[in-house]
């Protein structure tokens, strides 16, 4: 009966420690939300996630109609009016080539650093456009001044004046995206004649600042996008992965080659789709709203809050393994450990995660992990030397905890192999418990609590 009461007590204390662990996880998530607010504040004051959409050639037109009207004498006369149905033709480039370099820099808001970049690039696009002929030569439609539009998610990020050349001649850019209520720049062109073939060779040179993420929409029939940066940790996302990429300590280079046959970007643009700063940020989270795009984010490989949150998920395992160790000592070595002592040790293990997230806001995650783990291991080693009535036992538990903390750090930094490493660790722990207790007579321990337990084979 005593054995089962002790087991129930250990399980109850383990569940009780879940309360502070859940509270600490709440603190971690709150701090992560504060960082998100810092990113938004910097985006509001400088620039948000950026995108490039276009160029797109828009040609407005108005139909000429013949109507019958009565004159002052009451006679019916025919008149030609140019106020009939109107609309716009959208034309996309035959080829699009973008070459850019992303130079990263940091902005700080309070305790939080936000990754920014300055993009310097050249966007070249060629158009071969056949303007529709008039259906009725006697009623020619009116063709207005077309415009060439470039969508930019946050025009506040423009550094200096972008330079646009059309067929080798420099033209002056204007604000806005023409008739669309979206941010960007555009240039007005001379009205073309009905049925004419319009050939345009365009080149836009610009410098654009943005926060963390960049997306480029492949609107041409043939698209080539090449990006490079000294940042060594890119995250390729969006609807397309690079055709070629090279990532190393000196930075990355990536090239996308995308055909219009592989994307619905043109149809999405015709339906009113675009790429705002918020939609670019959502692409990073795996959600695509707006246009298909080739996207990239400059990420930190060890994000302190996400790593601390992942670590806290293993908190209950730490507590359970430690309590199991106590339980084994108490029954096999006939030690008496009070429930309050179980609780204090569990709280010390939980406080580790709070120390981890608080220290990681001031120093690197690896250093914060080392300091927090050493503090908890040292405290528990000192305390358990008295609880277990042996300095050697206290040191043994401290070594066990150090091994667990080292294994947890390995799980955190090896995200791709976390499952197999975690499963292997649990197997080894279970195997060790089974080997140590393989000759324990549990019936004797349960029936005769005062009797000496049988020895455990080494």
User: Over the stretch 117-137, which tens digit does the pLDDT of each residue have?
Assistant: 999 999 999 999 898 888 777
**353 SS3 class:** helix
274 or 108: which carries more pLDDT confidence? Answer: 274
Q: Could you tell me if residue 238 is inside a domain?
A: yes
Q: What is the mean pLDDT of residues 92-115?
A: 85
Beta strands in 28-111 (DSSP E): 50-62, 65-70, 76-81, 86-91, 95-109
Asked if pLDDT for residue 456 goes beyond 60, the answer is no
Residue 31 sits in the same domain as residue 57: no
Please, is 5 exposed, middle or buried when counting C-beta atoms within 10 Å of its C-beta (0-12, 13-18, 19+)? exposed
pLDDT of the residue at 257: 95
Mean pLDDT for the chain overall: 80
Owning domain of residue 377? 2-35+304-447
- In sequence order, which residues have a C-beta less than 8 Å from that of residue 134 and are 6 or more positions away? 140, 141, 194, 195
Q: Are strands 147-152 and 163-166 parallel, antiparallel or unpaired?
A: unpaired
Task: Report residue 444: phi and psi, to 5°.
Answer: -65, -40
Asked if pLDDT for residue 229 goes beyond 70, the answer is yes
Rounded distance between C-alpha atoms, residue 281 and residue 274, angstroms: 13
Q: How many domains does the chain have?
A: 2
Domain end, chosen from 298, 318, 351, is at 298
pLDDT of the residue at 457: 44
Domain end, chosen from 298, 325, 348, is at 298
Q: Could you tell me if residue 434 is inside a domain?
A: yes
Q: Could you tell me if residue 453 is inside a domain?
A: no
Question: With b meaning 16 or more CB within 10 Å and e meaning fewer, what string describes 143-177?
Answer: beebbbbbbbbbbebbeeebebebeeeeeebeeeb
Q: Decide: 10 and 323 in contact? Cβ < 8 Å.
A: yes
Q: What is the mean pLDDT of residues 418-424?
A: 70
Rounded distance between C-alpha atoms, residue 215 and residue 208, angstroms: 12
Q: What is the mean pLDDT of residues 64-87?
A: 66
Least confident of 189-193, 350-354, 423-427: 423-427
Continuous segment of H or E residues that includes residue 255: strand 251-259
Q: What is the share, in percent, of the chain residues with pLDDT greater than 70?
A: 81
Residue 353 sits in the same domain as residue 391: yes
Residue 314 sits in the same domain as residue 220: no
Nearest to 160 by CA among 208, 123, 99: 208
> Residues 306-316: pLDDT tens digits?
777 777 777 77
Asked if pLDDT for residue 451 goes beyond 50, the answer is no
Asked if pLDDT for residue 92 goes beyond 90, the answer is yes
> Residues 14-71: pLDDT tens digits?
777 778 777 877 777 777 777 777 767 776 777 888 989 989 999 998 877 766 666 6
Task: Report residue 7: phi and psi, to 5°.
Answer: -65, -45
Asked if pLDDT for residue 406 goes beyond 80, the answer is yes
**38 SS3 class:** helix
Please state the pTM of the whole predicted model.
Answer: 0.69
Q: Decide: 271 and 180 in contact? Cβ < 8 Å.
A: no
- In sequence order, which residues have a C-beta less than 8 Å from that of residue 404 and are 6 or more positions away? 318, 321
Residue 335 sits in the same domain as residue 289: no
Residue 249 sits in the same domain as residue 360: no
Q: Could you tell me if residue 367 is inside a domain?
A: yes
Q: Could you tell me if residue 69 is inside a domain?
A: no
Nearest-Å Rg of the Cα atoms of the chain is 34
Q: Decide: 125 and 217 in contact? Cβ < 8 Å.
A: no
Residue 274 sits in the same domain as residue 363: no
Q: Decide: 214 and 102 in contact? Cβ < 8 Å.
A: yes
**74 SS3 class:** coil
pLDDT of the residue at 452: 47
Please, is 387 exposed, middle or buried when counting C-beta atoms within 10 Å of its C-beta (0-12, 13-18, 19+)? buried
Q: Could you tell me if residue 43 is inside a domain?
A: no
> Residues 276-289: pLDDT tens digits?
777 777 776 656 66
What CATH number should be reported for the domain holding residue 233?
Answer: 2.60.40
Q: What is the mean pLDDT of residues 416-431?
A: 72
Residue 289 sits in the same domain as residue 335: no
Q: Could you tell me if residue 87 is inside a domain?
A: yes
Residue 320 sits in the same domain as residue 358: yes
Domain end, chosen from 250, 268, 298, is at 298
Q: Which two tokens stand for residue 136?
A: 């009725």
Residue 417 sits in the same domain as residue 351: yes
pLDDT of the residue at 300: 76
Asked if pLDDT for residue 221 goes beyond 80, the answer is yes
Rounded distance between C-alpha atoms, residue 182 and residue 211, angstroms: 19
Q: Could you tell me if residue 452 is inside a domain?
A: no
Residue 113 sits in the same domain as residue 227: yes
Q: Which two tokens stand for residue 333?
A: 């070595």
Nearest to 322 by CA among 396, 255, 373, 258: 396
Residue 226 sits in the same domain as residue 276: yes
Rounded distance between C-alpha atoms, residue 350 and residue 356, angstroms: 10
Residue 315 sits in the same domain as residue 416: yes
Least confident of 148-152, 159-163, 390-394: 390-394
Task: Report residue 186: phi and psi, to 5°.
Answer: -155, 165
Rounded distance between C-alpha atoms, residue 226 and residue 102, angstroms: 11
107 or 38: which carries more pLDDT confidence? Answer: 107
Residue 193: how many other CB atoms lie within 10 Å = 11
């Amino acid at each position: 009966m005593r054995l089962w009461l002790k087991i129930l007590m250990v399980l109850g204390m383990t569940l009780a420690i879940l309360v502070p662990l859940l509270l600490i996880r709440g603190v971690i998530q709150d701090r992560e939300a504060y960082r998100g607010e810092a990113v938004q504040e910097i985006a509001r004051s400088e620039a948000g996630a950026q995108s490039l959409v276009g160029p797109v050639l828009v040609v407005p037109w108005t139909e000429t109609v013949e109507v019958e009207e009565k004159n002052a004498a009451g006679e019916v006369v025919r008149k030609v009016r140019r106020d009939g149905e109107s609309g716009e033709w959208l034309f996309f480039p035959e080829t699009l080539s973008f070459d850019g370099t992303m130079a990263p820099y940091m902005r700080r808001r309070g305790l939080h650093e936000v990754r920014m970049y300055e993009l310097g690039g050249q966007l070249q696009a060629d158009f071969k456009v056949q303007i529709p002929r008039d259906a009725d030569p006697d009623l020619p439609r009116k063709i207005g001044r077309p415009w060439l539009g470039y969508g930019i998610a946050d025009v506040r990020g423009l550094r200096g004046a972008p330079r646009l050349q059309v067929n080798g001649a420099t033209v002056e850019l204007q604000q806005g995206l023409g008739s669309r209520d979206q941010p960007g720049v555009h240039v007005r062109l001379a009205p073309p004649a009905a049925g004419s073939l319009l050939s345009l060779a365009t080149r836009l040179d610009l410098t654009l600042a943005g926060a963390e993420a960049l997306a480029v929409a492949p609107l041409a029939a043939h698209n080539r996008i090449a990006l490079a940066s000294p940042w060594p940790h890119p995250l390729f996302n969006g609807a397309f992965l690079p055709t070629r990429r090279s990532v190393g300590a000196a930075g990355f280079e990536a090239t996308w080659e995308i055909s219009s046959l592989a994307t619905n970007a043109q149809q999405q643009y015709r339906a009113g789709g675009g790429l705002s700063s918020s939609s670019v940020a959502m692409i990073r989270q795996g959600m695509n709203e707006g246009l298909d795009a080739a996207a990239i984010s400059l990420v930190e490989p060890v994000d302190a809050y996400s790593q601390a949150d992942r670590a806290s998920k293993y908190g209950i395992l730490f507590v359970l393994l430690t309590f199991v160790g106590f339980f084994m000592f108490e029954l096999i070595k006939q030690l008496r450990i009070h429930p309050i002592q179980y609780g204090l040790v569990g709280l010390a293990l939980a406080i580790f995660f709070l120390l981890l997230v608080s220290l990681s806001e001031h120093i690197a995650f690896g250093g914060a992990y080392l300091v927090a783990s050493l503090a908890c291991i040292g405290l528990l080693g000192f305390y358990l030397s008295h609880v277990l009535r042996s300095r050697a036992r206290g040191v043994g538990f401290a070594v066990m905890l150090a091994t667990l903390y080292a294994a947890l750090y390995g799980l955190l930094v090896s995200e791709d192999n976390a499952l197999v490493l975690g499963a292997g660790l649990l197997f080894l722990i279970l195997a060790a418990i089974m080997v140590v207790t393989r000759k324990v007579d549990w019936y004797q321990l349960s029936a005769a609590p005062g009797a000496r337990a049988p020895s455990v084979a080494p």
